[in-house]
Chain A
Amino acid sequence: MQQKTVLNDAHRRLGAKMVDFGGWDMPLHYGSQIEEHHAVRRDCGMFDVSHMCAVDVAGSGAKAFLLRLLANNVGKLRQAGKALYSAMLNDGGGVVDDLIVYYLDDTHFRLVINAGTAQKDLSWMAARLADWKLDVSVTPRRDLAMIAVQGPHAREKVWQVLPEARAASAEIGPFCAVVVGDFFIASTGYTGEDGFEITLPAAKAEAFWQALLAAGVHPCGLGARDTLRLEAGMNLYGQDMDEAISPLDAGLAWTVDLNAERDFVGKAALLQNGQRRKFAGLVLLDKGVLRAHQKVITAQGDGEITSGTFSPTMQQSIALARLPPGVAEGDTVHVDIRDKHLAAKVVKPPFVRNGKILV
């Protein structure tokens, strides 16, 4: 059965076009996906991301568990609220999911995992826990909702609606969270803009959403979320990487800690295989739209687009692609679109950050 977030009725009242996303009935857009995209780059937009799942990991073995479970090193986290982006790998070095882990203290962490993979992730964690016999509880928090407020004016809009959060959340640096009452306010996001991702009791989500709406925050759907994250050079699980793809081949080497002595699931496979593909951005020089699974023809062999779209900010088509080793930024390659070979330039993502075009 299709799942609904607590804001489902609110989306329908706003006239959202709803779509299925990983088993969830979610807003694709509320009229114009492109206008929603621009609202986030220029002003402030909000997304219902309650389909994503917060998971509390607690107990005396919590840190040891995550040190072994995740490819990035939670040992780097020492400040309460500090967040870390990490892949969770299988034994073959493929990506089970990508997630954000928040450090609260050595016995309390919070993970935020993807919607479509949540059940699989929880089973995976339960099985590892049974193997490793650690004192840890893993609790999915479906009693919580999540709203991402993003854009250059996001902070001031959130503070307008939630004045008691101003002092605490103004102080936090990037990629960090603070608890204000029963709101968990994190300076994270999936758009390449400033803003907050706010986790709150589901029972308070509707009132908070309406207050943000009244403050002039634009409701934005998953369509704009996808073009924004792609411009920001951020991967989407299931598209840019999955269980058969190594994080080293998906542009995520910066999130994998191979230097520390710590062992983690998938480490041996990563060390053995190394990096086999180059993950890069493409900007289409001809007219057209790059799409996932299109073939990329290079002097070093063929590659494949993993995510592609039309960039509303650049007014050009952009993509993320897995390419043969040896392809370099600045190279011109060709993309097979309906049997035509269109020219594209290889670039280093991100394409856009904080409203500025970077490529």
Chain B
Amino acid sequence: MNIPADLRYTKSHEWVRREADGSVTVGITDHAQEMLGDLVFIELPAVGKTLATAAQAAVVESVKAASDIYAPVAGTITSVNQAAADAPESVNQDAYAAWLFRMQPANAADVDTLLDATGYQQAVESE
């Protein structure tokens, strides 16, 4: 299972990367893309939208089904990756390169409460 050690994770299979400017970049894990199968459509949030922790932020659809993607922390959407929406298969090819959106967390310390790579691995294994 591909779970980079330098990222944070949620039990709902989002990965989170802290950026130098204090924002976080969010995508879905390699495990998530594998479970979903071939992705064919991605609906991204509106820039400027404010979301609570675990609020629905985006939707990814595979041939099989639609899945909600949640805000890992509370905050405001600062940018979205239109290139991923234009080529949903890029998420299947490299889930950690094809990020979905960036947020400015309302509270920077919230990021520390997310799972680390070991914690996420355990969460996946206990599913």
Identify the stretch in B56-64, B107-115, B116-124 within 8 Å (CB) of chain A at 4 or more residues: B56-64
Q: Are A289 and B38 in contact (CB under 8 A)?
A: no
Q: Which residues of B contact A287 (CB under 8 A)?
A: 41
Interface size class of A (residues with CB under 8 A): 10 to 19
Q: How many whole Å from A181's CB to the nearest CB in chain B?
A: 38
Q: Are B59 and A34 in contact (CB under 8 A)?
A: no
**Given the complex of chains A and B, what is the CA–CA distance between A17 and B38 in angstroms?**
13
- The answer, among A33, A317, A338, for a CB contact under 8 Å with B38, is A33
Q: Are B41 and A288 in contact (CB under 8 A)?
A: yes
**Given the complex of chains A and B, what is the CA–CA distance between A291 and B64 in angstroms?**
9
Known: A223-B64, A289-B66. A310 touches B59 (CB 8 A): no
Q: Which residues of B contact A34 (CB under 8 A)?
A: 38, 40, 63
Q: How many whole Å from B58's CB to the nearest CB in chain A?
A: 11
**Given the complex of chains A and B, what is the CA–CA distance between A33 and B39 in angstroms?**
10
**Given the complex of chains A and B, what is the CA–CA distance between A29 and B43 in angstroms?**
25
B37 within 8 A of A: yes
A313 within 8 A of B: no
Q: Which residues of A contact B65 (CB under 8 A)?
A: 291
Q: Are B63 and A291 in contact (CB under 8 A)?
A: no
For B59, B61, B64, the residue with the greatest tally of chain A CB atoms inside 10 Å of its CB is B64
A32 within 8 A of B: yes
Q: Are A310 and B61 in contact (CB under 8 A)?
A: yes
- Give per-residue flags for A276-295: 1 if the beta carbon is below 8 A from chain B beta carbons, else 0: 00000000000111010000
A227 within 8 A of B: yes
Q: Which residues of B contact A310 (CB under 8 A)?
A: 40-41, 61, 63
Q: Are B37 and A289 in contact (CB under 8 A)?
A: no
Q: How many whole Å from B97's CB to the nearest CB in chain A?
A: 19
Chain B: interface residue total (CB-CB under 8 A): 11
**Given the complex of chains A and B, what is the CA–CA distance between A317 and B64 in angstroms?**
12
- The answer, among A33, A291, A338, for a CB contact under 8 Å with B37, is A33
Q: Are A32 and B41 in contact (CB under 8 A)?
A: no
Q: Which residues of A contact B43 (CB under 8 A)?
A: 288, 338
The residue on B at minimum CB distance from A312 is B63
- Give per-residue flags for B28-49: 1 if the beta carbon is below 8 A from chain A beta carbons, else 0: 0000000001101101000000
Q: How many whole Å from B103's CB to the nearest CB in chain A?
A: 21
A309 within 8 A of B: yes
Q: How many whole Å from A34's CB to the nearest CB in chain B?
A: 5
Q: Are B59 and A227 in contact (CB under 8 A)?
A: no
Q: Are A33 and B41 in contact (CB under 8 A)?
A: no
Q: Which residues of B contact A28 (CB under 8 A)?
A: 37, 64
Q: Which residues of B contact A309 (CB under 8 A)?
A: 63
**Given the complex of chains A and B, what is the CA–CA distance between A357 and B63 in angstroms?**
19
Q: Which residues of B contact A32 (CB under 8 A)?
A: 37-38
- Give per-residue flags for B6-40: 1 if the beta carbon is below 8 A from chain A beta carbons, else 0: 00000000000000000000000000000001101
Q: Are A29 and B37 in contact (CB under 8 A)?
A: yes
**Given the complex of chains A and B, what is the CA–CA distance between A338 and B38 in angstroms?**
21
- The answer, among B59, B61, B63, for a CB contact under 8 Å with A33, is B63
| 17 A-B pairs whose Cβ atoms sit less than 8 Å apart in the complex | A17-B37, A28-B37, A33-B37, A33-B63, A34-B38, A223-B37, A227-B63, A288-B41, A288-B43, A288-B61, A289-B41, A289-B61, A289-B66, A309-B63, A310-B41, A310-B61, A317-B41
Q: A227-B63, A289-B61, A291-B66 are in contact. List 18 more A-B contacts (CB 8 A).
A: A17-B37, A28-B37, A29-B37, A33-B37, A33-B38, A33-B63, A33-B64, A34-B40, A34-B63, A223-B37, A223-B64, A288-B43, A291-B65, A309-B63, A310-B41, A310-B61, A310-B63, A338-B43
